[in-house]
Structure 1
């Protein structure tokens, strides 16, 4: 089920997977650049996130099946613009960076741009999350030949091309599966960087050792 206060097509759609992010949503949505339509995919929030996002002018998609990949893919299916971006909805990333990140894809110089995290202060990116990410980056390089320093929580590609990848992971492995299948398809993959702030609220994934372990487990399954 979807609800929206937007009627006109826009140059780009920004998919924002959301699980209990009411505290962060005003900050995030206020920074979505002109020309980009925010698609907030509510993944079973109990804090009124969906209702708040709608009041703030976002297009809201309800995805009852829990999982980061399920939310991302529901947003992709709801997108209508040529360019589609994905971004965490916890205020750790500033959507105002989006035009710069999207520029190589928009110009036709790249097929997928991943924005690696550059922590702005101590504690923004916990040690266990950085170690897990580093290990996955090495495994991804061995599997695909693509040299990455991060799996890019902000990323941009063309909608039709993303749909053609036929991604199937609906858990934490979704971002990695996107990279692996894109590399296998011969996509031009670029990496840039964005500032990474301490998130608002508690992380469902990288905020705990258990969450990080589950994410690494899901992504290792993708690489296998």
Structure 2
């Protein structure tokens, strides 16, 4: 087990086929907190058997709901840092030490930059985030945070932000931002957020709300 300072938050919905290799990599660097968001395939049991702290949703609450529960659990356990990573194996868990190093060096937020974005709506969100805050890839699922900012805000998400509300809060509070390229592997099966039409709607909605809440000020 790595530093007890670090919680590794992993939202998961029916990821029994992919989560084991993720947990085997990331467990070397901190405490995995898997949020089982209504899975029916044994994701929770498998994750627990591999040493994860598991938060279970009996009813699916969506990506932001899962992350919100993960951050609440990390706060309750007193972690100093938290990093998010997906359960599908697309993001490189072996880069976690580099994210932590940058937090140790003074960053308050470290955001991954993927080598591609799969949707038009994500590109639109990127353009806004770059213009207003210099964020290269606001929707990357791999981000590291200083938990003192979570305690200042009091929550992770309040408007289904696709994991961006807390990030934008840190930047607007003047927190030090760092960004790190992360290679991405192809997704096996349908993305957790849904097919392209549904995903573009969800991301587009979050972008519009974020614009009025953050970017437009």
TM range (shorter): 0.7 to 0.9
Q: Which residue of 1 aligns with 2:21?
A: 27
Deviation string, structure 1 residues 127-158 (Cα, Å, up to 9, x no partner): xx2x222210222244xx31122113101111
Do 1:140 and 1:180's aligned partners in 2 also have CA atoms closer than 8 Å? no
Q: Which residue of 1 aligns with 2:70?
A: 75
Do 2:3 and 2:30's aligned partners in 1 also have CA atoms closer than 8 Å? no
* CA displacement at 1:47 relative to structure 2: 1.1
Q: Which residue of 1 aligns with 2:122?
A: 133
Matched residue pairs, number? 207
Do 1:12 and 1:82's aligned partners in 2 also have CA atoms closer than 8 Å? yes
Secondary structure at 1:219 match in 2: helix
Q: Which residue of 1 aligns with 2:115?
A: 118
Q: In 1, Cα distance between the equivalents of 2:175 and 2:99?
A: 17
Taking structure 1 as the reference length, the TM-score comes to: 0.83
After superposition, the CA RMSD in angstroms is 2.2
Q: In 1, Cα distance between the equivalents of 2:60 and 2:3?
A: 27
Structure 2 gaps, min length 5:
213-217
Q: Which residue of 1 aligns with 2:84?
A: 86
Q: Which moved more, 1:11-20 or 1:155-164?
A: 155-164
The answer to whether the aligner puts 1:107 opposite 2:110 as a matched pair is no
Q: Which residue of 1 aligns with 2:136?
A: 149
Judged with a 3 Å threshold, the aligned counterparts in structure 2 of structure 1 residues 33 and 51 are, in CA distance, closer, same or farther, namely: closer
Q: Which residue of 2 aligns with 1:49?
A: 43
Structure 1 gaps, min length 5:
1-5, 120-124
